[in-house]
Amino acid sequence: MNIDDDANLERSLRQALARIEPGRDFSAISYSRPRVIFWPPSRTMLALAAGLVLLLLVPIGMLQYQARQRRGEQAREQLVTALRITESKLQKTRQMVVRELNRRNTL
């Protein structure tokens, strides 16, 4: 056969690269491996997913708690300010009453 010829070279290549089958035990190994390969990743994936959920839930809970605390703090500060204003108003009114009584007594 003359390999210099394109058609012959191509035919030879087709023969040389013809399909070959894997060894007989390959199928048996392939069918048995998925059981080993598939389960650990899926369990690992479940554990990872649970871990991820926890990782997400903990910071969210913390943020919510901090926000609630901040709102409580603000309400307390507002109440204290309101009480201070009321106290000063009451003091001024009392002083006015005392001043008026003194003026009447002197008359």
Partner 1 sequence: MVFSLAYHFLQDRALAEDVTQEVFLQLFREQEGLATDQHVRYWLRKVASHRCIDAARRRKIRPRLALDEIREPAARESFHDPMLNETLRKLVATLPEAPRMIMVLRYQEDMDPTEIADAVGMPVATVKSHLHRSLTMLREKMQRLKKESVR
Q: How far is the CB of 35 from partner 1 (least distance, A)?
A: 12
Q: Do the beta carbons of residue 8 and residue 17 sit within 8 Å?
A: no
Residue type, 56: L
Q: What tokens appear for 78 in the block?
A: 């507002």
Q: What tokens appear for 52 in the block?
A: 């991820």
Q: How far is the CB of 62 from partner 1 (least distance, A)?
A: 37
Helix (H, G, I), strand (E, B), or coil: what is residue 18?
coil
Please say which residue, 2 or 105, places its beta carbon nearer to partner 1: 2
Q: Do the beta carbons of residue 4 and residue 10 sit within 8 Å?
A: no
Q: How far is the CB of 1 from partner 1 (least distance, A)?
A: 4
Residues within the interface to partner 1 (CB under 8 A): 1, 3-4, 6, 9-10, 12-23, 26, 29-30, 33-34, 37
Please say which residue, 30 or 44, places its beta carbon nearer to partner 1: 30
Please say which residue, 32 or 69, places its beta carbon nearer to partner 1: 32
